[in-house]
Amino acid sequence: MKSRREFFKSAAVLSALGASGLPLLSAENLPALPDVAGPRKYWVAVADKVARPVLANLARRELKLKMPVEERPGANRAKYTYLEAFGRLVCGLAPWLGLEGLAGEERTLQREYIQLAQAALDAATDPQSADFMNFTSGGQPLVDAAFLAQALVRAPKVLWEPLEPKVKSQVVAALISTRKIGRPHGSNWVMFAAMVETALLEFGEPTMEDRLESCVHDMLGWYLGDGAYGDGEFFHFDYYNSFVIQPMLLDVLAVLKRRDANFAPAFGVVLERARRYAEIQERLIAPDGTFPALGRSITYRFGAFQVLAQMAWLRELPPNIRPAQVRSALTAVIHKLIEAPATFDANGWLQIGFCGHQPDLGEGYISTGSLYLCAVGLLPLGLPPADPFWRAPSAPWTSRKIWSGENQPADHAIKDQRNVALPTLPRPGGAR
């Protein structure tokens, strides 16, 4: 028990804290929202800044010539980094590229990027191209072929259907060639095999049950509750539920559901879990737009919020979260990270780091191309400019409300089920 003297010392310290410029947050002293002239215009400008060096150079078949390869000494990531940059970037840009009805300057820019992306698909998959990419050597190409496949599934009307037959054949051959990489086990990598097979299914190619439904079944079996999956048997306190697991589960099962209604129940369960995970992600964004830099691969920056961005794009946010508060929160996050000094080098390429250039934050598998997964935080650009996500006035997100003293409902875990039945697609001759 404190003595009377100790009690008064404590009270004096608390009083001094209040007088020293460290008051509790209130509506008057919350950190200011980022000063951007129109959030959508700002997001488009960010997309352009991130994407142009990659797609402009790849469309000219000069990516390997022009892109620097920053990595840990001796990591030898050059044979992977180019497909990383391309696949991850277009995975995030795809909803915007596929959006119909744009006008004015944004439509002009969108048309330019559609043309660049289509030329880049040719350059990356043409064996005679100087920028022909590695789809088979080592394990890593399966990862980034999957992000590329996810992009094609997200925007087939611009990234697949208009391609010349020659280019379509090249893309299919590149995706099929990743089967030389063994079927993954025991980690989120199972979703990479499943995502590649899903794109092949969409393109009318035969698929392998062992690399599609079986991999999805593995991932569903690692569900741990309250919207979170283990990365294999165990939960990892990082952002891989958002970088990979839940977005690919949603996209794979959406295709399977469309092909076979028997997959609809599994898709419904996965969607409800993703809504809860998006709700958790929204609460992780602090009043000033910062968020916990924890777990591996934090150099993917605002790509950490892919699930929240995806739920906004799909118009599947939980009912208690308004689209405008998500836009405001994500704008604050993007502004905080993209505007940090030395995020880009002198030629506009992303540099390893979280808030600026912090090369020691990059694991041994991180190189320049890896960093372009940040683009998946931009998925809401796939919503039209008239959507409430963009048109509604700025709104405080949950942490701004709570830290300003506003009364808010308590947070609760979802009621859930552990096991999810997963059917299989019918295949000629029972092929697996």
- Reported as type and span, the H/E element at residue 224 is strand 223-225
pLDDT of 416: 85
Judge whether 171 and 123 are in contact, CB under 8 Å: no
pLDDT of 32: 72
DSSP 244: I
Residue pLDDT tens, the chain, 432 long? 455 455 444 444 444 434 434 444 555 566 776 766 699 999 999 999 999 999 999 999 999 999 999 999 999 999 999 999 999 999 999 999 999 999 999 999 999 999 999 999 999 999 999 999 999 999 999 999 999 999 999 999 999 999 999 999 999 999 999 999 999 999 999 999 999 999 999 999 999 999 999 999 999 999 999 999 999 999 999 999 999 999 999 999 999 999 999 999 999 999 999 999 999 999 999 999 999 999 999 999 999 999 999 999 999 999 999 999 999 999 999 999 999 999 999 999 999 999 999 999 999 999 999 999 999 999 999 999 999 999 999 999 999 999 999 999 999 999 888 889 999 999 886 555
3-state SS, residue 212: coil
Domain boundary assignment for the chain: 40-405
Judge whether 351 and 343 are in contact, CB under 8 Å: yes
The pair of three-digit structure tokens given for residue 252, joined into one six-digit string = 């794979």
pLDDT of 8: 41
The gap from C-alpha 207 to its chain's centroid, in whole angstroms, comes to 25
Model's pTM, two decimal places?
Answer: 0.93
Give the domain 40-405 fold: Glycosyltransferase (1.50.10)
φ, ψ of residue 71 to 5 degrees: the values are -165, 170
- The DSSP string of 333-376 is HHHHHHTSTTSB-TTS-B-S-SSS--GGGS-TT-BGGGGGGGGG
Judge whether 314 and 286 are in contact, CB under 8 Å: no
The pair of three-digit structure tokens given for residue 286, joined into one six-digit string = 């602090």
Give the whole-angstrom CA distance, residue 388 versus residue 31. Answer: 24
The gap from C-alpha 360 to its chain's centroid, in whole angstroms, comes to 22
pLDDT of 22: 43
pLDDT of 363: 98
Give the whole-angstrom CA distance, residue 93 versus residue 43. Answer: 11
pLDDT of 428: 80
Q: What is the dihedral of CA 358, 359, 365, 367, to 10 degrees?
A: 100
Judge whether 372 and 302 are in contact, CB under 8 Å: no
Dihedral sign of CA atoms 255, 260, 261, 266 in order: negative
pLDDT of 13: 40
